[in-house]
Structure 1
Amino acid sequence: MEHSALRAEFVAAIGADAVLDDPVSLRSYECDGLTGFRVVPEFVLLPTDTAQVAAAVAICARHTVPFVARGAGTCLSGGSLPVAEGVVISLQKLRSVLEIDVENRRAVVQPGVTNLDVSKAVAEYGLYFAPDPSSQQVCTIGGNVAENSGGAHCLKYGFTVHHIHEVQVVLPDGAVTTLGAPSPHQPGYDLLGAFVGSEGTLGIVTRITVKLLATPTAVRTLVADFPSVEQAGDTVTGMIASGIVPAAVEMMDALALEAVEASVQAGYSLDTAAALLVELDGPPAEVATQFAEIEQLCKDNGTTKLVIAPTPEARAAMWKGRKAAFAAVGRISPNYFVQDGVVPRTRLAEALVRISEMADEAGLRVANVFHAGDGNLHPLVLYSEQAGEHDRAEHLSTAIAELCVDLGGSLSGEHGIGTDKACSMPRQYSDVDLATMTLLRKAFDPDEICNPGKLLPTPRLCGDRPGPHRAHPLEAAGIIERI
């Protein structure tokens, strides 16, 4: 459809101020947190409520124009990468906390509300929202729902899907529906479970009912240094094997510690191979008993230094260092790729050793900072664009993700597949698995206009349109074969 005619429809539906198509504004939306992939959209839309989102999507559906929902743009897998000649529907203006239900421990929020602001809004009632991605100060609840985000405390409290009661969704044809319900037990197919983590490929969420938890009565935190990543990994395995489930167990290697200390001076050691950040919360007596067991486990596995946070301020400083790790790495490398593959806890040490070997083979450095408790690795592959290391780094990053699958794990723990790892999905899933996922996706979006090219594999260099494989004309004519 001609640009001016499509623009006129969008303006009539949501207002001229909500339709951006000037080159400077469009460039601001050309990528998300995975900056290596960039695409300039044709329009960026800024709706202010569900009705405007639905109107915008209905126009896209009527003209088969691809669209991509976007929150804060912090996705690290290219999940909100625009589509050329497509539309970005930004949800940044839908950022209100609509309702707080203290008695039932839930809140209703719009998708543009940041993760941390949910907890701030309910703190006076002794409540909080448990999922806590490292980017929680800026990442939005809508994005958390799309990626099924977790964070440091997911070991004990689970992921976003475990803390969502209900979502209001604009489907790819512009219809508005509700998935889930205030009551946690509903008959029928779990469409809410299918939607959370679908990476924006099934529709756009415009209202979310989240579950709230009571603030723990006791919290204790320590940082333990180890002379090797293997010993740190063995300590994590020992904790879980003993029946203790900490609120969080984070690990950082020497390179990550160097970057963090240069950035925020969190008090981490610079003369250690690895450090564990461990936190327990719950009833005071239980926390005290389990904390003593964890201290002993650290000593049994050769800790060289153990620091216990004496005050809430000291604990906050420890966490500030961990949550600043990704940004801090920018101090020691001009560019890096971030992965988030998952391995079984018992294979943590093996995975880290193999990653180190792969990095040496590629002539690159890898900093490791990750959720050790559930085996969710976050290796950062450092490289210099000026030194021509981009392709090597991208190849290594992909190889690390696929290594996780080979070790019995997964391509992604919380960042999503997006554009970055879509072509690696056949490493984890069979053709039948992927075909079943495609059937679900097409049931919601038969025209394949809702965040196309993400999650499911699409050849990236052959010129195919986003979506499942389509036969090349020569293949259809029987002249060539697909292998």
Structure 2
Amino acid sequence: MLMPAPDQGTLARREEIMAAMRAVLPGESVIADQVGLRPYECDGLSAYRAVPIAVVLPRTTAEVAEILAYCDREKVKVVPRGAGTSLSGGALPLVDGIVLGLGKFNRILDIDFENRTVTAQPGVTNLGITKAVEHAGFYYAPDPSSQIACSIGGNIAENSGGVHCLKYGLTTNNVLGLEMVLPNGEIIRLGGKHLDSEGYDLLGLMTGSEGLLGVVTEVTVRILQKPPVARAVLMGFPSSEQGGDTVASIIAAGIIPGGLEMMDKPAIQAAEDFCHAGYPLDVEALLICELDGPEVEVNHLIETVVGIARQHGAATVRVSQSEEERQLFWLGRKSAFPAVGRISPDYYCMDGTIPRGRLAEVLARMQEMSSQYGLRVANVFHAGDGNLHPLILFDANKPDELEKAEAFGSDILKLCVEVGGVLTGEHGVGVEKRDLMPTMFTEADLNQQIRVKCAFDPVQILNPGKVFPKLHRCAEMGRLHVSGGRIPFADLPRF
């Protein structure tokens, strides 16, 4: 779906904007030809496309600051972009704005084993951080399925998780410091190598802010020592409900696995055909539970988990006997998204989170919706923390199938909120879930969030049109009560 073409006013300013960008960056770092712009017209949510005025590729924080200062002054819209693996349209360009690509920020700046930190530029891949420290027995815990490609800056923007987030936390639990450029070009630092920061938790505010508040140019994360032992249990069940009940029972037993993932039959079949992980094909649901720690503890927990699985009617149970087998179990799970792409011309990847105790109910209701819409759905998700990733299968070449897939996805997300969950776990709101925000937040809630946006970005140049269903000028958001008086937002001090 192509977004609207730019208006005449934008086209008239195009040359002026291009000249300003070329004054800051060398020629090859400003992309303006139509062929060069095409790779940037969408992100991982490829149903929506738009061609920006230009793409700029700075190398230094000073260049980012100069670009943003110009855009803030001249009211030019800016969409920050990392690797473009976003699955909610968060990096979707604007036809009347520029894309600020951070792909050239690709260096690791500091590895500090004593303080167990790595400082990297935002374009470094998630897996690249682990690769840089694994020789010393360390790793970076958050591991999205796209970790081979997704950037650490994008992980900050979306608060990404991964299969090990249940025990070791999301990005927000593993980031310690940021350097960022505000929309007016100011450069600030939040946090550092220390475990806690003084004052307001602006670091927490930035993590998951989807590029609306500033542009991250440096990231400091914590790294962990690899556990002495890690083993995985592969469990197959005759029904998804039995798999969901097993998840609830494992957590209720006080066990916090290193990873606890679930796949349904369509996803199992696709993953097995894709990478031959040894998955059973005669089951309706598959659980992968990883236990890590001292060997005696791991052995005890495996015995407990296997017992719980059998109590819930597991048809097959396998425990990894080697590191290679453990990695093979996970290869199937992490390959599930591309694997599903082989069984359907298109798929729509959703992201919502529910209470674990409602898992079996939600899976059953999704199957009812699948019949209602006449579209298949494959489920791959972080079962341990209730983060669902239903993949709705459709064919965009068939009339109305994209619209049906979107409506199906919308109903899934509404169901997540209905049972006490939230609209997103790690993919963000972007444009995909923007119009569903009122199902979870009141108008007062949304207005307060917009006021935070206005405090950082009063001109609203950064990623406008994302997250919030209704655009407001900051001046329209009224005045704040401060010490008995009222001060306009424009008069508040900038961060």
1:320 pairs with 2:331: yes
Distance in 2 (CA, whole Å) between partners of 1:33 and 1:470 is 34
SS of alignment partner, residue 347 of structure 2: strand
Maintained 8 Å contact 1:262/1:331: no
Equivalent residue for 1:86, pick from 78, 97, 101 = 97
Residue 307 of structure 1 and its aligned partner are, at CA, apart by: 1.3
Distance in 1 (CA, whole Å) between partners of 2:77 and 2:283 is 50
Maintained 8 Å contact 2:233/2:302: no
Matches within 5 A, 1:424-435: 424-435=436-447
Residue 103 of structure 1 and its aligned partner are, at CA, apart by: 0.3
Residue 37 of structure 1 and its aligned partner are, at CA, apart by: 0.8
Distance in 2 (CA, whole Å) between partners of 1:283 and 1:51 is 47
> Which one-letter code corresponds to 1:396 in the other structure?
F
SS of alignment partner, residue 90 of structure 2: coil
SS of alignment partner, residue 360 of structure 2: helix
Matches within 5 A, 1:56-135: 56-135=67-146
SS of alignment partner, residue 381 of structure 1: strand
Distance in 2 (CA, whole Å) between partners of 1:394 and 1:469 is 34
Distance in 1 (CA, whole Å) between partners of 2:182 and 2:107 is 21
Equivalent residue for 2:226, pick from 200, 215, 221 = 215
Residue 53 of structure 1 and its aligned partner are, at CA, apart by: 1.2
Distance in 1 (CA, whole Å) between partners of 2:474 and 2:109 is 39
Maintained 8 Å contact 1:167/1:192: yes
Residue in 2 aligned with 1:477? none
Residue in 2 aligned with 1:414? 426
Residue 287 of structure 1 and its aligned partner are, at CA, apart by: 1.1
Residue in 2 aligned with 1:260? 271
Maintained 8 Å contact 1:452/1:466: no
SS of alignment partner, residue 28 of structure 1: helix
Residue in 2 aligned with 1:311? 322
Aligned-residue sequence identity (percent) comes to 48
Residue in 2 aligned with 1:392? 404
Maintained 8 Å contact 2:235/2:315: yes
Tell me whether 343-352 or 267-276 shows the greater mean CA deviation: 267-276
Deviations 1:368-388 (A, max 9, x none): 010000000100111112222
Maintained 8 Å contact 1:14/1:56: no
Equivalent residue for 1:189, pick from 195, 200, 203 = 200
Residue in 1 aligned with 2:8? none
Distance in 2 (CA, whole Å) between partners of 1:3 and 1:371 is 45
Q: RMSD of the TM alignment (CA)?
A: 1.4
Equivalent residue for 2:258, pick from 247, 251, 259 = 247
Matches within 5 A, 1:23-38: 23-38=34-49
1:53 pairs with 2:64: yes
Residue in 2 aligned with 1:461? none
Residue in 2 aligned with 1:475? none
Residue 150 of structure 1 and its aligned partner are, at CA, apart by: 0.5
Distance in 1 (CA, whole Å) between partners of 2:140 and 2:426 is 17
1:155 pairs with 2:166: yes
SS of alignment partner, residue 250 of structure 1: strand
Residue 467 of structure 1 and its aligned partner are, at CA, apart by: 6.8
Question: Relative to structure 1, is the Cα distance of residues 68 and 194 closer, same or farther in structure 2, using a 3 angstrom cutoff?
Answer: same
Distance in 1 (CA, whole Å) between partners of 2:61 and 2:474 is 30
**Where do 5+ consecutive residues of structure 1 fail to align?**
459-464, 472-483
Distance in 2 (CA, whole Å) between partners of 1:159 and 1:113 is 18
SS of alignment partner, residue 387 of structure 2: coil
Residue 190 of structure 1 and its aligned partner are, at CA, apart by: 0.6
Maintained 8 Å contact 2:454/2:474: no
Distance in 2 (CA, whole Å) between partners of 1:48 and 1:211 is 24
Distance in 2 (CA, whole Å) between partners of 1:361 and 1:2 is 48
Distance in 2 (CA, whole Å) between partners of 1:405 and 1:470 is 29
Residue in 2 aligned with 1:9? 20
> Which one-letter code corresponds to 1:31 in the other structure?
C
> Which one-letter code corresponds to 1:74 in the other structure?
T
Equivalent residue for 1:174, pick from 167, 176, 185 = 185
> Which one-letter code corresponds to 1:302 in the other structure?
G
Tell me whether 412-421 or 427-436 shows the greater mean CA deviation: 427-436
Residue in 1 aligned with 2:489? none
Distance in 2 (CA, whole Å) between partners of 1:253 and 1:67 is 40
Distance in 1 (CA, whole Å) between partners of 2:163 and 2:404 is 30
Residue in 2 aligned with 1:137? 148
Maintained 8 Å contact 2:270/2:340: yes
Distance in 2 (CA, whole Å) between partners of 1:317 and 1:178 is 41
1:448 pairs with 2:470: no
Distance in 1 (CA, whole Å) between partners of 2:73 and 2:339 is 45
SS of alignment partner, residue 2 of structure 1: helix
Q: TM-score, normalised by structure 2?
A: 0.92
Residue 469 of structure 1 and its aligned partner are, at CA, apart by: 12
Residue in 1 aligned with 2:55? 44
> Which one-letter code corresponds to 2:244 in the other structure?
G
SS of alignment partner, residue 336 of structure 1: strand
Maintained 8 Å contact 2:380/2:389: yes
Residue 470 of structure 1 and its aligned partner are, at CA, apart by: 7.8
Distance in 2 (CA, whole Å) between partners of 1:19 and 1:120 is 31
Maintained 8 Å contact 2:237/2:285: yes
Question: Relative to structure 1, is the Cα distance of residues 243 and 210 closer, same or farther in structure 2, using a 3 angstrom cutoff?
Answer: same
Question: Relative to structure 1, is the Cα distance of residues 358 and 469 closer, same or farther in structure 2, using a 3 angstrom cutoff?
Answer: farther
SS of alignment partner, residue 82 of structure 1: coil
Question: Relative to structure 1, is the Cα distance of residues 184 and 467 closer, same or farther in structure 2, using a 3 angstrom cutoff?
Answer: farther
Equivalent residue for 1:372, pick from 376, 383, 388 = 383
Distance in 2 (CA, whole Å) between partners of 1:140 and 1:386 is 32
Maintained 8 Å contact 1:456/1:467: no
SS of alignment partner, residue 123 of structure 2: coil
Deviations 1:106-131 (A, max 9, x none): 01000000000100101122111100
Maintained 8 Å contact 1:453/1:466: no
SS of alignment partner, residue 331 of structure 1: coil
Tell me whether 425-434 or 193-202 shows the greater mean CA deviation: 425-434
Q: TM-score, normalised by structure 1?
A: 0.94
Distance in 2 (CA, whole Å) between partners of 1:310 and 1:18 is 50
> Which one-letter code corresponds to 1:359 in the other structure?
S
Question: Relative to structure 1, is the Cα distance of residues 469 and 382 closer, same or farther in structure 2, using a 3 angstrom cutoff?
Answer: farther
